[in-house]
Amino acid sequence: MDAGKIIAMLEKEYPDALCSLDYEKDYELLFATRLAAQCTDERVNKVTPTLYSRYPTLEALAEAKLEDIEEIIRSCGFYHTKAKDIIAAAQMLISEFGGVVPGDMDSLLRLPGVGRKTANIIIGDVYRKPAVVTDTHCIRLANRMGLASSKDPYKVEMQLAAVIPPEKQSDFCHRLVLHGRAVCTARKPMCDKCAVKDYCAKKI
C-alpha cells in the first residue's frame, strides 16, 4: 500500500473533488447531510430545493411544523426523526450559535442528529480544515486499498487521518466517494478500469 501514490492517482482521475450534495448556505449542507443518512445524495438533491424554497431561512426552519417538513422529506426515509432533528438543530443554531454553523467537532456533535460523519463534512467543506468523512464508500475503499483495516467508522477515520496529509483529507474522501460510485463499486469492483490498481492491496 502506497498512500501517496493512491492520493496522486485519484487526484489525477478526479480533479474536481466536490461534495455531491447541493447547497448554497452552510446550514443547508448540514441538513442535506442529515437527510442523506440511509439515502442517496441524488435523492436528497431532488428534495432539498423544495425544502429550502419553502423555508428559505434558518428561522423559517426553526418555526416549521413537524408534519410539514415530514411531508417534504418523506422520500428520504426515516422522515420523522430527520424532520425532528432539522427543526431542533435549526433552533439550537439560532439560540446557541448565533445562526452560524460551528466549525469544531465538539460543538457540531451537540446538534441534534449530527454525528462525526456530518461534523467532518462541515469541518472539511465549509471550514476547509482537515477532516476525514467515513461514509460507506470511504470505509469500503479504504479497506480494499489497504489504507484501513476496520469496518468501524471511527477507527477508519483515525487510520486514514494517520496516513493522509491533513491538507488532502477532505478532498481525498470526496474522491473515494466518486471512485466508489464509478469504478470500485460494492458488488463488482472494476479493477481492470481502476486508476489505482497498481497500488491497491486487493488483488482480484
* Same structural domain, 109 and 33: yes
Of the residues 26, 41, 125, 135, only one is catalytic, namely 135
Are residues 104 and 146 both part of a single domain? no
Answer yes or no: 84 catalytic: no
d(CA 200, CA 193): 13
Q: Does one domain contain both 154 and 135?
A: yes
- Which CATH number is 94's domain given? 1.10.340.30
Which domain covers residue 179, as residue numbers?
Answer: 3-17+131-193
Whether residues 37 and 105 fall in one domain: yes
26 an active-site residue? no
Same domain, 101 and 158: no
Nine-digit cell at 166?
491533513
For residues 9 and 191, the answer to whether their CB atoms sit within 8 Å is no
Same domain, 110 and 162: no
Q: For residues 6 and 147, is the Cβ–Cβ distance under 8 A?
A: yes
Q: What is the pLDDT along the chain (204 residues), one digit of tens a residue?
A: 689 999 999 999 999 888 889 999 999 999 999 999 989 999 999 999 999 999 999 999 999 999 999 999 999 999 999 999 999 999 999 999 999 999 999 999 999 999 999 999 999 999 999 999 999 999 999 999 999 999 999 999 999 999 999 999 999 999 999 999 999 999 989 999 999 999 888 754
Tell me the C-alpha distance between 55 and 3, whole Å: 43
Contacts of 96 (CB under 8 A, 6+ apart): 110
Catalytic residue among 26, 41, 82, 117: 117
